[in-house]
Structure 1
């Protein structure tokens, strides 16, 4: 399965302008052979705490745009957004993965980023989500989740690839790159990290999106500019690495 990581800028808190900016990216990725096309965290608005302005329902314009793009180009489309949560007092930072037939799979970010006050404006997710995409088991995470290795460990046996979408700032870019590599090596799985570029909310972003294989080798990387990264994810490679280097059974769980 070929994945396309779309590293892009965002028009701050301007959904419509950003979606216009991104028009054509799914088509380009599909033309490049991608089955899964991923945008970033809060990909249409930026990482804003202004949820009364940015949050919308699962039937809102952002998910509708994703559904249209997925159907039009015959690919899966992923990206997170501030989503109203009828079951909670606060909206959630929801990573949605939309299939070509319009099915929406949703993961709510487990760890709101309290350093930026996210916990005051967003509720925390409660469960892991893994989606089978053309035989590749893809487990979903958002940005700050990357710092919590135990969450990745908990899903490892049922995961071939982790998708991590982010608005990870330039000031901690080394952490982003190192943690993506570590999560791949620890769990002997692919890791696809998709981060934004540009500026927004007083922060600068350098992208540093990367796709890492189960041995920690970087298959594709980009920094600084808008780009699309591609890599082929093969579950047989994951199985072979884990058979040749059977580290996971040695992990203590208690």
Structure 2
């Protein structure tokens, strides 16, 4: 399966402009025969806390409807971040996968809101891992700060052979981003795709550094700090070979870990 990561400067809280930019990326990805294109966290708004302004609710899920149309138009699956407004409460930072036939096949709520940046004051954490099948690849999705919590990656990798991390990860912590993406791939013996933004949003600088890491920790595609598409092949047989030849999971002691 060929995947593509769309790294770009998200226009702050401007969905219409970002929709057009995303459509252009999908048109370019179509020329490369991509099966799945992935966009960063809160893809059409940036990492905004103004949930009343940018949030969407049942009956008005504008972003999902827009990308359902794009998926059908270009014949490819896409991963897209958006804000879901809960009835009478906080919002959810969500990431959906839409199949090439326009169906929402995964819709994940970020488990760990970024409390250090005040996200938890506006967003409530999810309580479930999500996975879906694209062609013959099981895909699971996480969002930004989730990357710092290896336990959920271990749980997801029981099924997933590709785990995606959509982010608005600041340039100031670039080394953490790069190191943790590689670590999660090595620990879980699966592909990790980290999709970050570039530019500046609400005064915070982002360096991009989107990348695809294979099950051995080798970076097979990476971006610099500009707007670009990068692509890579997901070979599930490589995941199987890696897990069979070095059986890390057999030595895990889940019962002991729970006790500790």
Q: TM-score, normalised by structure 1?
A: 0.97
How much has 1:112 moved relative to structure 2?
0.4
Q: Is the 8 A contact 2:78 2:97 kept in 1?
A: yes
> What residue number does 1:37 align with?
37
- SS across alignment from 1:17: helix
Aligned residues: 253
How much has 1:22 moved relative to structure 2?
2.4
Deviations 1:109-164 (A, max 9, x none): 00000011111101110100011111101111000000000110112221101011
> What residue number does 1:2 align with?
2
> What residue number does 1:96 align with?
96
- SS across alignment from 1:44: coil
- SS across alignment from 1:151: helix
Distance 1:252 1:85 in 2: 38
- SS across alignment from 1:102: coil
- SS across alignment from 2:158: helix
Q: Is the 8 A contact 2:167 2:196 kept in 1?
A: yes
> What residue number does 2:78 align with?
77
- SS across alignment from 1:23: helix
How much has 1:21 moved relative to structure 2?
2.5
1:168 aligns with 2:157: no
5 Å-filtered alignment, 1:1-254, equals: 1-57=1-57, 59-86=60-87, 89-104=89-104, 105-254=106-255
Q: TM-score, normalised by structure 2?
A: 0.95
Q: Any gaps of 5 or more consecutive residues in structure 2?
A: 256-260
Q: Is the 8 A contact 2:170 2:204 kept in 1?
A: yes
Distance 1:123 1:221 in 2: 32
Q: Is the 8 A contact 2:23 2:70 kept in 1?
A: no
Distance 1:173 1:6 in 2: 18
- SS across alignment from 2:9: coil
Question: What's the Cα RMSD here?
Answer: 1.1
Q: Any gaps of 5 or more consecutive residues in structure 1?
A: none
Distance 1:18 1:100 in 2: 20
Distance 2:161 2:22 in 1: 28
